[in-house]
Amino acid sequence: MPELDQPFNTTDVEEAPAYEPIPINAEVKAVIVKTDVLRNEQGWKGVKIWYQVLEGQHKGKRLDALYTVDNPASPNSAAIGQRQLKEVCEAVGIQSFRQTEVLHDKIVVCKADQEKGQDGRIYNRAKRVLKAVGNPPVPQAPTPAPSAAPPEQPAGQAKKPAPWGE
């Protein structure tokens, strides 16, 4: 049977401070610490992202967000979730991904929200990702290069007239 090196006694441990959720609409600098892809039997799919606050009075607290990416029963909810996930991706400089781990360790500014859970507790949610902090920008589609000038004629050769006239 697993055993500790010394007895654990609850009377030797301080009480936990009262939990204070992050205020609604507070903007916090946070890092993406965990992601998961969730699914159900009805075909719903979502990406869950956990953020951890990096500084200020809420340092160390976590927020999470669930982004619906597919929902056969409600295409509108999928469209909303995809737009929200797009904000995250653009903020962290990622244009496309399959493995959610590529989002890990990216730093963003989140706008906080709160949600009351079924257990009655208040949970911190990331309502929006406003911007990135120190992440590379999303690569943009390449712009076509300006058309090259026609090659110069070698010395001593006359320019042939264009077949359509000039």
CA dihedral of residues 80, 82, 88, 92 (deg, nearest 10) = -160
- Indicate if the alpha-carbon torsion angle 82, 90, 58, 49 is positive or negative: positive
* CATH number for 39: 2.40.50
* pTM (2 d.p.): 0.73
Residue 128 lies in a domain: yes
pLDDT, position 166: 43
Provide the domain count of the chain.
Answer: 1
Structural domain span for residue 127: 21-132
Residue 14 lies in a domain: no
Residue 165 lies in a domain: no
pLDDT tens-digit series, residues 37-50: 999 999 999 999 99
Residue 11 lies in a domain: no
